[in-house]
Structure 1
């Protein structure tokens, strides 16, 4: 009977040793490191106390002291997402590798600005950054847009996942999202409604300068209901990238060309910013003739467009003021049956 109890105790000890995660005994293994840093404000560089710093994968949290510093000891070696959270301030997330026997410095800079409260719900059983959560959002950068080499919004997004186009010619194409068209697809620029007639009629295009965009986003799924009942199919948001100030001068020049329809076009822009002010100006133009097909040239499929915009923004902190003027002139044909 004593032998049976002893054997049972040994089996229990072996089972416990097998199922316990290695991080419960870091001192014996030595395969741990230290993570520390300081949290400051981006605008002033002053330390921030009372900030919650969390290693998401390990669910370990600590608070910054009066000098803005924090420290995690005995952190198992690996790659971790570390988040700094302060109420009413956007979270900051850094991904860092931790190696055994070393100390990793991970500083954070919190930026005071308008913040939208959001909750990310995932089904993977553990916390993760909302930046890495799977979201029904497609995004095209300025480089992607230039590579497309097209004249209108529908042609840019055509053949993206869940996206087709409605077209009465190259100059009037408009995206179709998940089979929805017209007033079921909302087109925005920098989060504002454009107010064009493109959703009502197929011979009206969207007045968006493709060559001057910094990014083009397509939102699908239940989150589109936040934009209203006419966004059931989805939302297309054209982003120009003037939401905050930056110091110095930035600029770009873009050129496009095509041989099938004798296309030629180009655009350019410049930004100048100080600590709280930003000034910008953009301009572009494109022309394309009737395009050729295996059955011949398609009459009245030409496109001409010219665009210009300029503005100024003031960004003192949590609030901002931005004024922008845009000019769009288009002339395009609508192909017809001979």
Structure 2
């Protein structure tokens, strides 16, 4: 039966096709099927004509996958996983890389939150009001800087219009879910007023603690819901654009307010002494222990302007500027225990120009100024200031079926911790990056691409200066600027490191193929990434009760009440009162893997979608596994379409992850069965109305997420039923 398989049919048609085709036919063969332009790329590109692996989530597909967090929204995309911090603050992981290596942007500008420093800090983008989400895998540093060595996720909305909308248009939607009693609603509208376009959107979302299949936690208790995993969020955006003959200029303001629980965050388990205060009540209305939660606020102003042919030789000039004022407090009872703030300015100027012959390019400047601070009980990093100034140049040409793409970027990064006295208070880096790629139309049905990138990344302020208890991840973190020295038995002192932190240096190779035959598609991507001086959190054999801590940014020793800084604690400790110590370290590592996805239209009604991805990562010297590495996945969906309705059944299998780092446990395999019914009622045709019913994890399978810091305490959600509605006008 193999000869009748969808894959065999595609390959048979490809090999039977003529090797040569008219160049004009090749240029236009996808114009009806691939029309989405990548906003994150300064030169006009689609998913097909880019040498770099790119994918886009938009339209109904985005609405159906939309979740509270960006990580959960993208978690089923090939090559993308999530940190899964109990569904309240999940961030995307791209090919095993996360945190400061994955740049998250809103309309091309940094989200300016503090999510890159900790998995319990929320990403402040909102996908329910977005037009599309763009994912650039692999190094994308040429445009976005050294914080994008792992990839870029760009969330695009319509807050600043670049053209008229043709009158008035808008959208509305909402959904309800059973597993966490979710109530969600969003809406937006854009309208032409003379030479201006105005935009308004907003959303509101509330959910309670989410339910899970009953399991036994580390304390031997039976658990059926994840305590303190509630979400209460709302936000809105107002934007206006002025359009003129050869350009546009627009300004937008957005406000986000969000409160969410921080599961697994219990001070009393680690020797901290707090007086009992009134806290959240449990589901029966009884007084419960004090449970901390985050209270987040963000104000954001964005400016976007563009000119067509402003000067001789310049075809397009674009300016993007953003200012963000961000704050979130971690609150216990009525008292903020820790406050995180970020004030950030960002400016990007890009000029598209015609070089010579068939070569086109984009040259630009990217400036970035960030002031972050943290104060309170868990201020495990001191206040810091980060400034970046980068210059980039990209160029491409297309000739005889080949699309050549190349570029370079130079950047100067300065990171200062003005109040720091222990360790080096400032660092300067000069990352340099370059890439070269090609996209080749080999046959009418086959497009091949290859991309080689050399990218450098400066360590983040958190990776350099961390020194304190981080109870959200149940660890004590020590940054690259410090070393730990044994003074006596069970006594360890934190000192300034004599070794200067180094730039991460990535050399990445991507090979890909897109095969298309009629309505059948197959994408294959292979990647290998060698990163020298890779920064990661390595678990040590130490416990925080063994540390003697002497610094000046709001830290207290993690010893018992009778011990003092600089005094030798007793030889015997109860390590259950402390935290495991993790230290940021730099080693050379190798990451490699694949992403495969395909769509086969079996007949007019039946369609099969399938994907698989895999990432392997280890140090090159001793082949030590990197921590929290995503497991291999295989998934498939079968869809039946009949007129104005369709139904879909899918299954995703997550393999066992036994390649673990030191002090990390293996994670068993599990599978999730999902189903969905979509209805597009004729009565709502003028509103492009769609209604869906969805069932997730229908077998109520217990699944632990290996990439999560809360793997053992916050597994995936249990059986969930939801109903949603989406309309456009």
Contact 2:138–2:151 at 8 Å: present in 1 too?
yes
| Pairs within 5 Å for 1:1-338 | 57-59=21-23, 81=27, 116-117=42-43, 132-133=48-49, 135-241=52-158, 242-246=160-164, 247-274=166-193, 276-295=195-214, 296-336=224-264
Further displaced range: 323-332 or 268-277: 268-277
More helix by share: 1
Pick the structure with greater CA Rg: 1
- Give the Cα–Cα distance (whole angstroms) in 1 for the partners of residues 47 and 77 of structure 2: 21
* Matched residue count: 229
- Give the Cα–Cα distance (whole angstroms) in 2 for the partners of residues 142 and 275 of structure 1: 28
Evaluate the alpha carbon distance shift between residue 116 and residue 217 of structure 1 in structure 2; reply closer, same or farther with a 3 A threshold. Answer: closer
TM-score by length of 1: 0.61
- Give the Cα–Cα distance (whole angstroms) in 1 for the partners of residues 151 and 232 of structure 2: 28
Contact 2:72–2:82 at 8 Å: present in 1 too?
yes
- What is the CA-CA distance between 1:228 and the residue it aligns to? 1.2
- Give the Cα–Cα distance (whole angstroms) in 2 for the partners of residues 245 and 275 of structure 1: 12
Contact 1:245–1:275 at 8 Å: present in 2 too?
no
SS of match in other structure, 2:116: coil
Evaluate the alpha carbon distance shift between residue 199 and residue 268 of structure 1 in structure 2; reply closer, same or farther with a 3 A threshold. Answer: same
Contact 1:314–1:321 at 8 Å: present in 2 too?
yes
Evaluate the alpha carbon distance shift between residue 82 and residue 154 of structure 1 in structure 2; reply closer, same or farther with a 3 A threshold. Answer: closer
- What is the CA-CA distance between 1:149 and the residue it aligns to? 4.3
Contact 1:245–1:277 at 8 Å: present in 2 too?
no
Provide the residue aligned with 2:296 in structure 1.
none
Evaluate the alpha carbon distance shift between residue 250 and residue 158 of structure 1 in structure 2; reply closer, same or farther with a 3 A threshold. Answer: same
Evaluate the alpha carbon distance shift between residue 94 and residue 187 of structure 1 in structure 2; reply closer, same or farther with a 3 A threshold. Answer: closer
- What is the CA-CA distance between 1:203 and the residue it aligns to? 1.7
More strand by share: 2
1:26-83: CA deviations, max 9, x gaps? xxxxxxxxxxxxxxxxxxxxxxxxxxxxxx95347xxxxxxxxxxxxxxxxxx66459
Evaluate the alpha carbon distance shift between residue 131 and residue 208 of structure 1 in structure 2; reply closer, same or farther with a 3 A threshold. Answer: closer
- Give the Cα–Cα distance (whole angstroms) in 1 for the partners of residues 135 and 141 of structure 2: 10
Contact 1:169–1:333 at 8 Å: present in 2 too?
no
TM-align CA RMSD? 2.9
Provide the residue aligned with 1:38 in structure 2.
none
Evaluate the alpha carbon distance shift between residue 139 and residue 82 of structure 1 in structure 2; reply closer, same or farther with a 3 A threshold. Answer: closer
Evaluate the alpha carbon distance shift between residue 301 and residue 222 of structure 1 in structure 2; reply closer, same or farther with a 3 A threshold. Answer: closer
1:215-254: CA deviations, max 9, x gaps? 0111113444432111011000000034422220001111
TM-score by length of 2: 0.29
